[in-house]
Amino acid sequence: MTYRKVALIGLGLIASSMYWAMKRAGMETHVSGYARSEKTRETARRLGLCDVVCDSLEEVVKDADLVVLAVPVGAMGGIAETIAPHLKPGATVTDVGSVKRAVIEAVRPHIPEGVHFVPAHPMAGTEHSGPDSGFASLFDNRWCLIVPDGAPDAATAALEDFWHALGANTERMDVQHHDLVCAVVSHIPHLIAYTMVGVADDLRRVSDQEVIKFSAAGFRDFTRIAASDPTMWRDVFLTNKEATLEILGRFTEELFALQRAIRTGDGDTLFDYFTHTREIRRGILQAGQDTEAPDFGRIRKE
């Protein structure tokens, strides 16, 4: 199924990449876009992003077959409430948030009868944001997790086909498991990156110039992650609190174990631990979810 009209609400990295990926796929789809900021809307028009950039939520969703909420998760409930009276019967509403339970609780109560809500989460991104940050290949061979949460199978399958056309793989997942998985593979790594960069900033024995000048790959990778959109990540941690705290507790236990091994000179424990983590890295490479190329191979490819 090809959606005849797609409405993108929020014109940042994900939505702009979706638009360029739709064009690359040759979809005969009319795409309308909306952003809260007038400046963002003007930038999108200048870039030719979307077939039409609208100045209101009511206008952008008019006659849309698919409505994509691509805004911070904390804003989704209010937007859903605003657009609800203007949604086309039979339309599908989806989102791209990295938290699902909180999004479902905020959005579903506003979805009118006859409209389908199929939550989704493309596991792709960069540290960049804004309408000029998107590129067509962002989703290639990445995973988009679909959380039907009771949505009709036909609507869910249509959304899966849409993401496949954008280059992504898809997998269905229940709400609780999704939020736990994302806490492990995304949320906690971001929290660690923010903390590590913050620690480096507080080490006054190392000057700012030295931190920048002598940064090795490990610290550079932390700074790349820590440069991600602060509004989005604030909302992620506040709305996925339970899973984040659970995994953070486990991380703290592991950290204490390594601290003890270092203090006691237990080289065998350290070696075994690092060997295990190295195998996980090899597994990620073998699955095609990363590359040995510099900067993770994330050079933009149009």
Token readout for 280 is 């996980």
Q: 172 and 148 in contact (C-beta within 8 Å)?
A: yes
Residue 132: closest CA among 227, 43, 33, 71: 43
In this structure, of 65-74, 181-190, 218-227, 259-268, the range with the lowest mean pLDDT score is 218-227
Which residues does 156 contact at the CB level (< 8 Å), separation at least 6?
A: 118, 146, 148, 172
> Is the pTM value of this prediction over 0.85?
no
| Distance, CA of 290 to CA of 284 (rounded, Å) | 6
Token readout for 121 is 């989460």
| Distance, CA of 187 to CA of 265 (rounded, Å) | 31
Question: Which of 78-92, 178-192, 203-217 has the highest mean predicted lDDT (pLDDT)?
Answer: 78-92
| Distance, CA of 283 to CA of 300 (rounded, Å) | 24
Residue 226: closest CA among 245, 211, 239: 211
- 265 Rama class: left (phi>0) / alpha (psi -120 to 50) / beta: left
- Predicted confidence (pLDDT) per residue in 88-118, tens digit: 999 999 999 989 999 999 999 999 999 999 9
pLDDT above 80 for 133 = yes
Read off the pLDDT band of 1 (50, 70, 90): low
**pLDDT the model gives residue 300:** 45
In terms of Cβ atoms closer than 10 Å to its own Cβ (0-12, 13-18, 19+), residue 119 is buried
Higher pLDDT: 37 or 222? It is: 37
For the segment 214-232, the average pLDDT, to the nearest whole number, is 73
For the segment 189-211, the average pLDDT, to the nearest whole number, is 70
**pLDDT the model gives residue 238:** 84
At position 289, the amino acid (one-letter code) is: Q
Quote the crossing angle between the two packed helices 241-264 and 267-286, to the nearest 10°: 140
CATH numbers and ranges of domains, the chain? 5-173 (3.40.50.720), 177-264 (1.10.3660.10)
Token readout for 27 is 């979809």
In terms of Cβ atoms closer than 10 Å to its own Cβ (0-12, 13-18, 19+), residue 254 is exposed
Return the exposure string of 53-84: e unless at least 16 CB atoms fall within 10 Å of the residue's CB, then b. bbeebeebbbebbbbbbbbbbbbbbebbeebb
For the segment 31-59, the average pLDDT, to the nearest whole number, is 97
3-state secondary structure of 8: strand
Query: Which sign, positive or negative, has the C-alpha torsion 276, 277, 278, 284?
Result: positive
